[in-house]
Amino acid sequence: METTGAIGVFDSGIGGLSVWRKLKELLPGESTIYVSDSAHAPYGTKTKKYIQDRSEILTRFLLEEGSKIIVVACNTATGAAITKLRQKFDVPFIGVEPAIKPAALASKSGHIGVLATVQTFRGEHFKRTSGLYADRVAVHVQAGTGLVELIECGRIDSPKTRELLHLFLDPMIEAGVDQLVLGCTHYPFLIPLIQEIIPHAITVIDPAPAVALQTKRVLEHNGLLNRFAKDARHDFITSGDAGAMEQFMRQMGWEYPVRAIHTI
């Protein structure tokens, strides 16, 4: 595999851009190809088989486009599909998992909260990781139903988003959680709003920095790190509405064109 290949990134939608921005910060010399599967979002309500099939299609596309490593920037797809992807493709894969371990180790109250999708909670990764720390902390789980759709529409600070966050977070606050794990890559875009709602004593854990660091480690281990690139390229593709994705990215301060490929 060429070191000059790109880091391929895919998500059910635009949420994985929270991971992409950390990859870009940590690995400025690396080119990236980001695929948003917005035409088939959200994944959180889909069957495991459906998510596996979509993940395989997106992986094949990213490899055809010249990716040397694949970041599955979606908690739901990681839980449902990454094991199968690793069996099927001869390329390194990086997944995203709810950060139960650091939350459990840091908790002083003995209570941590996890906000994620239904499919993430059903996944083996979540069950295994939460089981390992069940004797240390009480894990309060909440499905963030409806949040992905609002973020996809750019409604990051809308009355409906605030209403849902209160509905989901208030019981966790009452339960005494002191760590809040964001178990969906869409949710870090809500951190400013979340921090307005929760007490200052609660730490919000964004998985993206750890994913970027692991990606760097795997690139180095496999001799794939591009140490000499001067002109990193960043390509953005969606199976949905390119204009909507461009508008969201401008909202975040990123000026990049987006290609719509509806045949993915």
pLDDT given for residue 183 in this prediction: 95
- In this prediction, residues 148-168 reach a mean pLDDT of 96
**Residue 175 CA, distance from chain mean position:** 26
Contact 222, 92 (CB under 8 A): yes
- In this prediction, residues 53-68 reach a mean pLDDT of 98
Name the residues annotated as catalytic: 74, 184
Gyration radius of the chain's alpha carbons: 18
- Flag whether the pTM goes above 0.85: yes
pLDDT digits (tens, 9 = 90+) for 71-110: 999 999 999 999 999 999 999 999 998 899 999 999 999 9
The pLDDT confidence band at residue 209, using thresholds 50, 70 and 90, is very high
- In this prediction, residues 236-248 reach a mean pLDDT of 97
Mean residue pLDDT across the chain: 94
pLDDT given for residue 123 in this prediction: 79
- In this prediction, residues 239-244 reach a mean pLDDT of 96
Q: Examine the pLDDT at 125 and tell me if it is beyond 80.
A: no
The pLDDT confidence band at residue 227, using thresholds 50, 70 and 90, is confident
The pLDDT confidence band at residue 130, using thresholds 50, 70 and 90, is confident
Common-topology check for domains 6-96+209-260 and 100-206? yes
**Fold of the CATH domain 100-206:** Rossmann fold (3.40.50)
Q: Examine the pLDDT at 1 and tell me if it is beyond 70.
A: no
Q: Which CATH number fits domain 6-96+209-260: 3.30.980.10, 3.40.50.970, 1.10.8.640, 3.40.50.1860?
A: 3.40.50.1860
Q: Examine the pLDDT at 167 and tell me if it is beyond 70.
A: yes
**Residue-range domain boundaries for the chain:** 6-96+209-260, 100-206
The CA dihedral of 130, 134, 139, 144, to the nearest 10 degrees, is 20
Contact 23, 215 (CB under 8 A): yes
Nearest Cα to 3, choosing from 95, 84, 92? 92
Residue 94 φ then ψ, to 5°: -115, 130
Q: Which residue has the higher pLDDT, 127 or 92?
A: 92
- In this prediction, residues 188-213 reach a mean pLDDT of 97
